[in-house]
Structure 1
Amino acid sequence: MLYFRYPFSDQIFTTDETLVTKSVRFVSFDTNEILDFNGNINEVSLDEFSGNQIFSDTVPSVLNNFKEENEIDYLEKITQVINFAKENDLSKLVISRRKLVDFSNDKINLSQTFLNLSQSYPNAFVYLFVKNGKCWIGAFSEVLGKFNKKTSEFETMSLAGTIPVNEDWTNKEIEEQQPVTDYIANILKDYSVEINQSETYDHPSGNIKHLRTDFKAKIDREDLEKVISELHPTPAVCGFPKEFCRNAISEFENYSRSFYAGYIKVETDETIQYFVNLRCAEFFKNAALLYVGGGITADSSPDKEWQETELKAGAILKNLSFN
């Protein structure tokens, strides 16, 4: 079962699971885990969606013996990461954490949570799925890629740096976003002779904002998956250099990110879109794990990084509907 909503849309869609055609695909951060939703993509009316409400007590899996990383442990880890970034002259290394929401004595209305997220984040791709014992919800607006089948135009964005919406940018955020922009530009120039790059501007997302730079380029259809494989994971969710940072992440994070910081592919007759899976949560019958992270640089402050992850966790947390 899958429901999703495109950015800046009021329509809710699902797949009918009747065809072999793979319409929607979830790919994990390490690309080793893939979950496909087959069939035609059909619109679902709000009345139909609301009339078939889904609750957390119907999720088959249970979370047991989970030890949450507390603030002291996280600050100690981030201090190590900052030193690691300095020693290895890294422009950025993205480290995540999982925030626990225990609702053993309650339950979550997952359908209403989906609607809450859709209302709170109109510019986000919002989804809810339950399949193979897994249940995830997410809402984020970073586009890994969008390909127009008729015009062969490819769009992507550099989105990084995070501060509260009412604060001003510092060198830390600017220097965090620039490697993402450079990384994307260097990849696209191998596949296109004409690349349009926008100015960098603010991208609000609820209570926080990011720095954003847009790209447009003409590419060949047969190169699309190559481009995506090179873009993922971008420095915004991994760091740079990519392979070095991927290895470092496995050392500093003692768990699998699963679908967090992976991507979602949605294919229709007209377009193929790829959305980065951030601001997401994994649900169980009795609890949820909110996945959040931040880009660590030599200039990072452990305390500010903790506050940033708390702000990001609020994207899901404040929209949970308890019953």
Structure 2
Amino acid sequence: MIYFKFPFDEKLYSTDKNHDQTAVLFKSFDQAETIGFNGNIIEVTEIPDTFSGKLLSQDDSHFSAETHEEYLDKLQKAIEVIKKNQLPKLVLSRRKIFTNFNEIDLKKSFHNLCAAYPNAFRYIFIADDNAWMGAFSEVLGKFNKSTHEFETMSLAGTIPTSESWTDKEIEEQKPVSSYIRNVLEKFSTQSEIQESETYDHISGNIKHLKTDFKLKIKPEDLEAIIEELHPTPAVCGIPKEFCKEKIQELEKFPRELYAGFIRIETDEFIQYFVNLRCAKLYSDAVHLFVGGGITAQSNPEKEWIETELKSEAVLKNLSFLN
């Protein structure tokens, strides 16, 4: 069972399970895990009352949340790796685990999330022992089946909406744009790449720097582009393979679906969203996944505060039954 809303679209969608074609597909960060929902995408009026916290499984992961000190120590190690190898950026994440509740009100929580992030792809699903909820607006790719236009974006740098950009965030976003530009140039035989100015992208209580890209591609190149783009420097780092190895070494937990991607196919488009600002839901726990881009100029304490802000995206919208 999955329910979702597209960015800037308040219609509620699900899948009807009427055929074997996968309409919505979740891929984990390492692409080792796949969760799919078959059928046609259909509009529904509301989430049924039977879709409740009673369907959630217990948390038997035995994970304990990373402490403030542990995370700062990990970031310091990451900064040393960055300096030693002259990396432009390395992305690290952590899990924040919340357990102080009786039962999650799934319908109300999703309603709150949708209201808070109208410009995001918003979803909630239960599939066997897996249940996740999230809202984020980073597009890994959007392919128009009629025009063959492909769109993507460079999204990086995070600060509270009330603050001004510093050199750290500006320098963090530049290599992300450069990486995406280089990938797209390999597939730009049909047209020139169109690139926007970099601008502010507001997401709840925080903002990012964003640059949009567009070009025409061959339909048969779509999956190859996605393979090249994922994981982008916004969720991994540069160079990609080296940073993936360091993430495995440094991070305490597997990322699972966090920082993976979601593929949705409709009659007109095939869209890919990066799965950030998300949480794994259990009957007795919520695992919130958050992270940030680390550079040689990073301040570990500020990075911790950034992840705390990001965790609020889901946590502040959760609703509980007494």
TM over 0.5: yes
Instruction: Give RMSD over aligned pairs.
Output: 1.0
How far the C-alpha of 1:52 sits from its partner, in A, is: 2.2
The one-letter code matched in structure 2 to 1:21 is Q
C-alpha distance in 2, partners of 1:20/1:321?
34
The amino acid across from 1:97 in the alignment is: R
Q: Deviations over 1:83-110 (max 9, x none)?
A: 111011010000000001103x511111
Which amino acid in structure 1 is aligned with residue 141 of structure 2?
G
Secondary structure of 1:19's match? coil
**Is the contact between residue 104 and residue 283 of structure 2 (CA under 8 Å) also seen in structure 1?**
no
Q: Is the Cα–Cα contact under 8 Å of residues 152 and 214 in structure 2 kept in the other structure? A: yes
Give 3-state SS (helix, strand or coil) of 1:166's partner.
Answer: coil
1:239-254 aligned at under 5 Å gives the runs 239-254=237-252
Give CA deviations for 1:100-140 in whole Å, capped at 9, x if unaligned.
Answer: 1103x511111111110110001000000100210000000
Counterpart in 2 of 1:60?
A: 57
Residue 268 of structure 1 corresponds to which residue in structure 2?
266
1:308 matches 2:303: no
How many pairs does the alignment contain?
A: 319
Query: What is aligned with 2:28?
Result: 28
Structure 2 stretches lacking a partner, 5+ long: none
Match of 1:121 among 117, 131, 136: 117
Matched, 1:203 2:201: yes
Identity of aligned residues (%): 56
Q: Is residue 2:139 matched to residue 1:143?
A: yes
Q: Do structure 1's residue 98 and structure 2's residue 95 form an aligned pair?
A: yes
TM-score (norm 2): 0.97
**Where does residue 164 of structure 1 map in the other structure?**
160
Structure 1 runs, 4 residues or longer, greater than 4 Å off: none
Determine if contact 2:261/2:272 at 8 Å carries over to the other structure: yes
Secondary structure of the 2:320 match is coil
Is the aligned partner of 1:133 residue 2:126?
no
Letter in 2 for 1:229: E
How far apart are the structure 1 equivalents of 2:301 and 2:59? 32
1:64, distance to aligned residue in structure 2 (A): 5.3
Match of 1:12 in 2: 12
Give the distance between the partners of 2:303 and 2:57, measured in 1 at CA.
Answer: 34
Please name the residue that 1:81 is paired with. Answer: 78
Stretch of structure 1 that moved more, 227-236 or 12-21: 12-21
| Structure 1 spans left out of the alignment, 5+ residues | none
